[in-house]
Amino acid sequence: MQCGGCNWTLLNKSFWDQFTYDNSVTTEEDIRFEMYQLPLSFIVPLLLLYGLVVVISFGGNIVVCYTICDVKGLHTVTNFFIANLAVSDILMTVLCIPTTVLSDIIYKHWVLGSFMCPVLHYIQLVVVMQRAFAMVAITCDRHCLISKPLKRRMTKPTARLLVLLLWIAAFVIALPTGMVSQVHYLQYEPGSQGLCIEIWETHRLRNVYSIIIQLLQYVIPLIIMICAYIHIGYMIWIKPTPGEANKERDKRIALSKRKVSL
């Protein structure tokens, strides 16, 4: 399960960049900051929902990993990719939700120190990127099983190497985030609490990197998965089975393909 709010502070850094205060007067920005405060009637249900997500995501993915590791019959390439995705989900649950709750809901500022700011932002993006790559790997594996059923399958060592390369790619792509993330202190009052945000040298660099991340994390994986599953649907539901027509055989083959696609 994915934590949709794990990069809330990152994505809303432009909002906080607008705060330039004079301590001696009350400005419109002061009013805007006060309006940002969430009512208790909203915070409590939100915390309960976050807690429910943590329990379901962490518990469910732990069960998936344990089952795949414990049952020898499940030691397949496809299940290896699924276990890798479950690990990514566990890391997202552990790293994204707690920091979001602490920084954005409870304290309204960064409370984990200047060292943890770049570290957590970096690891969060690594996990998010790797999860997107893992979903593409699972999709491509299913597509190959259905479109080329007689072709030799990917071996387990090759699958492990592929997963390792996906993690390395995620670590490399996320490096700029770790390099520019830092605790930034607002200037509207002395002793203000800090926010963990990305501080780029220029807006152009920030925009270019943001576009690259959106393409690699969302747009390209989405296009690949849509195209792959459309072709899978065509192979299962529309494309006729080669050879002389036989209803019983065609039903068995179609059922087998549907099981693989699931």
Give the CATH fold of the 8-208 domain.
Answer: Rhopdopsin 7-helix transmembrane proteins (1.20.1070)
Neighbours of 248 (CB within 10 A): 7
Could you say which DSSP state residue 234 is in?
I
Q: What is the pLDDT of residue 246?
A: 54
**Which pLDDT score, from 0 to 100, does residue 36 have?**
54
pLDDT at residue 220 in the model: 96
Helix, strand, coil percentages, rounded to 5, for the chain: 75, 5, 25
Contact present, 191 and 106 (Cβ < 8 Å)? no
- Which of the residues in the chain have pLDDT under 70? 1-38, 186-192, 239-262
Q: How far is CA 191 from CA 14, 16, 32, 104, in A?
A: 22, 17, 19, 19
Q: How far is it, in rounded angstroms, from Cα 34 to Cα 30?
A: 6
| Helix, strand or coil, per DSSP, at residue 183 | strand
C-alpha span between 11 and 168 (Å, rounded) = 24
Q: Model's pTM, two decimal places?
A: 0.74
| Tens-digit pLDDT profile for residues 171-184 | 999 999 999 999 88
Burial 170-205 (b: 16+ CB within 10 A, else e): bbebbebbbebbbbbebeeeeeeebbbbbebeeeee
According to DSSP, residue 73 is labeled G
- Written as six digits, the tokens of 207 are 């925009």
Which one-letter amino acid corresponds to residue 187?
Q
* Contact (Cβ atoms closer than 8 angstroms) between residue 125 and residue 86: no
pLDDT of 95: 87
Angle formed by the axes of helices 247-261 and 113-147, nearest 10°: 170
Tokens encoding 110? 């960064």
Alpha-carbon dihedral 243, 244, 246, 249, rounded to 10 degrees: -20
Please give the structure tokens belonging to residue 105: 């809901």
Can you state the angle between helices 156-173 and 113-147, rounded to 10 degrees?
Answer: 140
Give the Cβ contact number of residue 14 at 10 Å: 10
Nearest to 233 by CA among 134, 142, 154: 142
- Residue 219: its pLDDT value, please? 96
Structure token digits, residue 19: 């705060």
Check residue 6 and give its pLDDT.
57
The amino acid occupying position 145 is: L
DSSP-derived letter for residue 72 is G
pLDDT in tens, 63-85: 999 999 999 888 888 899 999 99
User: Could you tell me if 176 and 183 are in contact, meaning their C-beta atoms sit under 8 angstroms apart?
Assistant: no
